[in-house]
Chain A
Amino acid sequence: MGPEHSLITPLQFQLTLDRLAHQLVEEHGEFAESALIGIQPRGVHLASRLRDRIGRILGGKPPRFGELDITFFRDDFRRHDMPLQAAETNLDFTVEGLRIVLVDDVLFTGRTIRAAMDALLAHGRPSKIELAVLVDRRFRRELPIEPKYVGRSVDSLDSQRVQVVWSDMEGEDRVELINPTEDHG
């Protein structure tokens, strides 16, 4: 097996996004009391794709959409050599009483989502928080957090890396599993 292994091909990727968008509409209807919030930086890509698709499904009415930065809420501050650089939070609506769908690309330990819930609660008290992810790396959770909407569940080794490639950054939309470069015996 080479260092890269395709988890979601470009074709599957579009189908998966379509499916997630439909599931979200099925659950949230016209998003009258709901909002999509992407976690900075990588969850924002997925969230904005879902927003566009949901907008099309709803006849041109995209759901409320926000970007949430969690840097100041992480539990691994000062466990890195350099301070973590924050990104922007853009929430131009109040989350009070809304059903919030947090969106991230890969769910791994769950610590990011824990921080995101804290960050979100600093903006008010949502009536409900759900989680949508493109890739769920099962069995690697360090906190009791489970997604409601999942693009693909994978079983992977700690040493492997899941990389989501977005066409607005480079190439075609796809997800790859990257093996460590050392010999993995």
Chain B
Amino acid sequence: MAEFSARHLLGIRGLQASDVEAVFQTAREFKAVINRPIKKVPSLRDLTVANLFFENSTRTRLSFELAEKRLSADVVNFSAGSSSVKKGETLADTVRNILAMKVDMVVMRHPHPGAAHYLAQKIQVPIVNAGDGTHEHPTQALLDCFTLTERLGSLSGKRVCIFGDIRHSRVALSNVLCLQLLGAEVMVCGPATLIPKHFGSLGVQIEHDVDRALAWCDVANVLRIQLERQGTEVPYFPSLEEYHSVYGITTERLHRLDKRPLILHPGPMNRGVEIASDVADGQDAVILDQVENGVAIRMAVLYLLAGRLGSSPD
């Protein structure tokens, strides 16, 4: 059986294919658990997990919190909006203070890339990166790939295209790395202004024509246009309407294809911008499967990391 070798989950970079397989195996069993009348197991009943969200998040925080509660962990939540961060405390100090209250694991979302890696050098407890700036969001990539393996079996040789705002996405890099680890071919597609130049060095194809990309792929992972991050002085594209007409995934576009791809979206969706409403609600979309699997994947990650805590020397 596959074993999980890491002490933290900082990113997909650094994981082996066997680590991902271990997470998937465990997640399959947790998915069964959360579909039972009693959706809870006592595995982490003696542990406390701190969810540190230095940046806003609704669904990721909710998903982690549910995962922790369904493992019977005690949960404390911290959000930057109402905290000492505003008073000038450093990240390491904030976290050390929380750990001094005997917290066993940390889940952290932070606006700065590398924040989780930095923290991992400073503190001893396992850290799960719940998104660090535009860098990585490993549990999202794991749940996306898990959802795909449920539908497609092995991802080896499967073609996955990531559409939309690659520049501001933390989902894109983690997804590319995880898909490649599992043997998939990856393409990114969007306006040139929203695809960072370095993506070419990851060994992914870059495409600017949505129809060509859709015809190529077995899976379309449609990312959110991050409206709040569009350039204030120089916009990345002329208007939302124009973006939709040139880059939006619409029923008309899908109807023209011989084989229709599975549609993923990490949420929250801008209906009528990157994805048309009838596509989001259509039969090819597995968007709500992603949400369901998110809880199972996060339970698996927490369970596997907790399993390495305090193992006795004998």
Interface residues of A (CB under 8 A from B): 69, 71-73, 77-89, 118, 121-124
Contacts and interface: CB of A to CB of B under 8 A. Distances in A.
A71 B42 CA distance: 10
A118 B304 CA distance: 21
B295 to A, nearest CB: 14
A83 B303 contact: yes
A85 to B, nearest CB: 5
B307 A84 contact: yes
Given A85-B26, A122-B38, A72 B308 contact: no
A72 B42 contact: yes
Contact of A122 (B1, B26, B41, B303): B41
B40 A86 contact: no
B83 interface: no
A79 B312 contact: yes
B127 to A, nearest CB: 17
B43 A72 contact: yes
Contacts of B33: 72, 122
Nearest to A88: B29
Interface of A is mostly: loop
Contacts of B22: 85
B1 A85 contact: yes
A72 B41 contact: yes
Interface residues of B, number: 26
Contacts of B304: 83
Interface string B158-188: 0000000000000000000000000000000
Contacts of A89: 29, 32
A88 B304 CA distance: 17
Nearest to B304: A83
15 contacts: A69-B29, A71-B29, A72-B43, A81-B311, A82-B3, A83-B303, A85-B26, A86-B25, A86-B26, A87-B29, A89-B32, A122-B36, A122-B38, A123-B37, A124-B37
A78 B32 CA distance: 22
A123 B38 contact: yes
B52 interface: no
Nearest to A119: B41
A85 B28 CA distance: 11
Given A73-B41, A77-B307, 5 more contacts: A69-B29, A78-B310, A79-B312, A82-B3, A83-B303
Contacts of B307: 77-78, 80, 82-84
A45 B84 CA distance: 57
A77 B42 CA distance: 10
Contacts of A80: 307, 311
A23 to B, nearest CB: 31
B80 interface: no
Nearest to A94: B37
A46 B133 CA distance: 53
B91 interface: no
